[in-house]
């Protein structure tokens, strides 16, 4: 029940688009790799661990700041804000599994590169570093979306045309820097874990992890499978809107982050970077096979409903 690994090198960043034959081979392999689990490792993407570590190190300096300073850069608490999903999220604010206590993680969301809510006064290098990584993930996502479309028998720009405004306030695509602080296990509440069981909301997610472990994803058999860090690989997964788009041909998979299982009284900190790709706000998601398995839904409305449930404590 291992998660498949796909070599994306022929279409990685910095590479010219390969021949039609190679694109067909790669796109078919990518789609096939999701047959049992909605997660796949892709290698040779053009993004190396060295860059990921650099971003994580700068983000960790932000998370080390006092809470009263971080709160100056908090995610908007009103859904009427122009930057709906941009800013800092304190630990236990989110509850991705509503049957559990709040998640033992904090985050900094970057969804609109034009936002003014950046910690420039306390960490000048933060914005430049995170913006650069956002743009790199965006470029890779466009290539992945083309491979997905071709692998599903659609026009190559089918999904790309519905994700034109990533990094603008007409699209909620978000880079999340996630920090799971070290914690005394004696202070953990009953049933509390680092990240509750959930599926992602949008089209696809690109995940970059450190080596601490803890992520588990659900196989189609119903069993959870470990998804550890693989050097220089991106862990790619399907989101709920893509499942609707493909009439369940691609499945959005439940996953979670557990506390370490060791006997240590203190668990070490953990970091990850997740690039959540969402369609443009006004896109109406309908089943691309022409069926009516799912009713049409507007991207922004669907996401706002999911955000509302996540932050409803």
Among 107, 150, 163, residue whose Cα is nearest residue 277:
163
pLDDT for position 81:
65
What distance, in Å, lies between the first and last C-alpha atoms of the chain?
35
Among 139, 138, 119, 140, residue whose Cα is nearest residue 128:
119
The pLDDT tens digits of the residues spanning 201-260 come to 999 999 999 999 899 999 989 999 999 999 999 999 999 999 999 999 999 999 999 988
Q: What is the pTM of this model?
A: 0.96
**E strand or H helix at 190:** none
pLDDT for position 308:
84
**E strand or H helix at 284:** strand 284-285
Residues of the chain with pLDDT under 70: 77-82, 313
pLDDT for position 136:
98
Question: How many CA within 13 A on the CB side of residue 45?
Answer: 30
pLDDT for position 116:
81
CA distances from 252 to 38, 42, 97, 161, 310 (A): 6, 17, 16, 22, 17
Q: Distance between CA atoms of 102 and 272, rounded to whole angstroms?
A: 18
pLDDT for position 78:
61
Q: How far is CA 55 from the centre of its chain?
A: 15
5-310, what's its fold? Jelly Rolls (2.60.120)
Q: How far is CA 17 from the centre of its chain?
A: 25
Q: How far is CA 248 from the centre of its chain?
A: 20
pLDDT for position 89:
95
The pLDDT tens digits of the residues spanning 174-197 come to 999 999 999 998 899 999 999 999
Residue 120 near residue 127 (C-beta atoms within 8 A)? yes
Q: In the 3-class helix/strand/coil scheme, how is 75-131 assigned residue by residue? A: CCCCCCCCCCCCEEECCCCCCCCCCCCCCCCEEEEECCCCCCCCCCCCCCHHHHHHH
Residue 260 gets which letter from DSSP? P
């Amino acid at each position: 029940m291992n998660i498949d690994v796909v070599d994306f090198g022929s279409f990685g960043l910095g590479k010219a688009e390969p021949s039609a034959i190679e694109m067909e081979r790669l796109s078919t392999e990518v789609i096939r790799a999701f047959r049992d689990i909605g997660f796949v490792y892709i290698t040779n993407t053009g993004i190396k661990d060295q860059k990921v570590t650099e971003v994580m190190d700068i983000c960790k300096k932000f998370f080390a700041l006092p809470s009263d300073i971080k709160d100056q850069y908090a995610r908007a608490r009103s859904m009427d804000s122009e930057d709906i999903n941009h800013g800092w999220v304190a630990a236990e604010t989110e509850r991705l599994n509503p049957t559990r206590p709040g998640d033992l993680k904090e985050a900094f969301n970057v969804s609109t590169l034009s936002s003014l809510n950046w910690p420039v006064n306390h960490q000048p290098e933060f914005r430049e570093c995170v913006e650069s990584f956002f743009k790199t993930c965006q470029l890779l996502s466009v290539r992945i979306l083309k491979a997905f479309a071709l692998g599903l028998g659609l026009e190559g720009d089918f999904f790309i045309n519905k994700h034109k405004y990533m990094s603008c306030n007409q699209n909620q695509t978000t880079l999340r820097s996630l920090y799971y602080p070290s914690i005394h296990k004696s202070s953990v509440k009953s049933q509390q874990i680092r990240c509750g069981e959930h599926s992602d909301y949008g089209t696809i997610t690109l995940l970059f992890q450190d080596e601490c472990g803890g992520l588990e994803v659900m196989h189609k058999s119903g069993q959870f499978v470990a998804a550890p860090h693989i050097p220089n690989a991106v862990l790619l997964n399907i989101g709920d809107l893509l499942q609707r788009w493909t009439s369940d041909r691609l499945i959005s998979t439940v996953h979670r982050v557990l506390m370490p299982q060791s006997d240590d009284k203190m668990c070490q900190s953990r970091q990850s970077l997740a690039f959540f790709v969402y369609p443009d706000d006004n896109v109406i998601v309908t089943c691309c096979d022409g069926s009516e398995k799912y009713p049409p839904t507007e991207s922004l409305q669907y996401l706002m409903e999911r955000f509302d449930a996540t932050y409803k404590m």
